[in-house]
Amino acid sequence: MQIVDAALADATRRSGYWLVCKPGCTQCCVGVFAISPLDSSRLKQGLRELDRTDPERAVRVRARAHESAARLSADFPGDPATGILFEDDASVETFEEFGNDEVCPALDPSTGLCDLYAARPITCRAFGPPVRTEGGLGHCELCFQGASDAEICASEMQVDPDNLEADIIDSDEVTGVTPGQTTVTFALVTTPRS
């Protein structure tokens, strides 16, 4: 996470005023996306830590997660009991249009802030600055309004250039991490209380 956070700080510096992300902006908190087993593990740890430091807030996060899971379970292209997404072509295709209007359960609707900010997934950490994907160079639609292609490219964030996360997931050193991708909602509903 230190590498990703350092890359974000660098991209933020290079983006300057083009990057309009700020506390309370929740554009990136709407829509379901897949998270890695390590993201899931970090979220679970973050929620257990919240149980210890602010139990009332943890109860609210869990309640929002359970409400979200109830809305999403019927059409979830995976196993709703474990939260693990299926990897077959039909499930992957279904997931493309799945839960696009669902608000992240970690988002506190009264403040517009993430209750699990320190444990947020890599996708959340990298949202805003330009990031290269299979589809090209993408960024938050609220950022870089009127920027040239050169200005956007100059701010590109290298999220995991050495593919360290995949290496960690594939290594024998990782224990206690459930294999397979999931979502924030299902990672949180499968987190036991501390």
Residue pLDDT, tens place only, 39-71 = 999 999 999 999 999 999 999 999 999 999 999
Digit-coded pLDDT (tens) for 6-29: 777 788 888 888 888 888 889 889
Q: What is the DSSP letter of 132?
A: E
Q: According to the model, what pLDDT value does residue 129 have?
A: 81
Q: According to the model, what pLDDT value does residue 3 have?
A: 73
Nearest residue to 175 via CA among 41, 81, 43: 41
Res 99 pLDDT > 60: yes
Mean pLDDT of the chain: 87
Structure tokens at 75: 């059409």
Digit-coded pLDDT (tens) for 75-96: 999 999 999 999 999 999 999 9
pTM for this model (two decimals): 0.82
Per-residue burial over 88-119, b = 16 or more CB atoms within 10 Å of its CB, e = otherwise: eeeeeebbeebbeebbbbbbbeeeeebbbeeb
Q: What does the domain layout of the chain look like in residue ranges?
A: 2-189
Arithmetic mean of pLDDT, 109-135:
87
Q: According to the model, what pLDDT value does residue 171 have?
A: 61
Digit-coded pLDDT (tens) for 131-190: 877 777 788 888 889 988 898 888 887 776 666 666 666 665 555 566 789 999 999 998
Q: According to the model, what pLDDT value does residue 16 have?
A: 86
